[in-house]
Amino acid sequence: MERQALKALLRSIKDNKYAVPEGVNPYKLSLELMDYIGDIDGELRDDLVFDVLVQWIMGDVLTPEEAHDIFVIALDEKHILNGLGEINDTVFGRTFSVEVAACIIYKHRKLLSDSDILKAFKTVLKFYNEDRDVRGYVEGKRWAHGAAHGADALMELAQCEVIGYEGLKEILASIHKKININYYGYINNEDERMISAVKEVLERDIIPAEEIEEWIRSFGNIEKKGIVPDYLFVEFNVTLFLKSLYFRLVDNTKYEQIAKVVKEVLKKTSRFGEE
């Protein structure tokens, strides 16, 4: 479908509370929408394509089988892995594909097979570990937000029973790696989205508390070297993450000891922590 005609159709669908227009096959249209999931037009990609897809998935306009087909497409090499490692416009296809996958896991977690979940887990981890384009808001093209969208998918995967001890440890390692970068500062609430994934790992009660504490202490091993602003990005990302994590845990008696460790590491990490 021609771009302007597609935008007009999707706007009318939104204006009509996401009802399927007469003569439109929602499944066929959804398949077509996946061709536009990485479009550089922010309105088309974010406000229209993604929004309609999510509403149709969550509202059962698409059957579980149809949603599964979208799930498979989102995780293929032309979507979540397209341009992996590059910092350019391919980022939009990756980050919105992973968010579509997260939505489908949330909606159909109990209906997806273990093999579906494990394959998604492997692919999402590859995306999160290897994608270097972590820009949040891109001027003129709007949200990319890969660090946040990927964390959303990890949050959903952390709740899947087939993901056990080793998988949950991989999620923590991936988040640790994502925070410790020296070329971008997370200023668009990426830290909160990552912490939501961490919280789901904690809620599984599979990883022993001492290993969680060891993971938190590893954030204190920042190498403050190099030129400004490189190491300042790392310092900012780590201290912001720890501050946010502390306040997400401190009022829950279950995590009292972990919050205490977070506070200790934060004092060590922040240049103002001992004042």
Residue 226's pLDDT is 66
Residue 50's pLDDT is 98
Residue 273's pLDDT is 57
CA distance 21 to 111: 28
CA distance 182 to 232: 7
**Residues in contact with 106: Cβ distance below 8 Å, sequence separation at least 6, in sequence order:** 156
Residue 224's pLDDT is 65
Q: CA dihedral defined by 82, 85, 90, 91, rounded to 10 degrees?
A: 110
Residue 132's pLDDT is 97
Residue 230's pLDDT is 77
Residue 15's pLDDT is 97
CB 266 within 8 A of CB 259: no
Residue 231's pLDDT is 78
Blockwise average pLDDT, block size 10, the chain, 275 residues: 94 98 97 98 98 98 98 98 97 98 97 98 98 97 98 98 98 97 95 98 98 97 72 91 97 96 91 60
Residue 225's pLDDT is 64
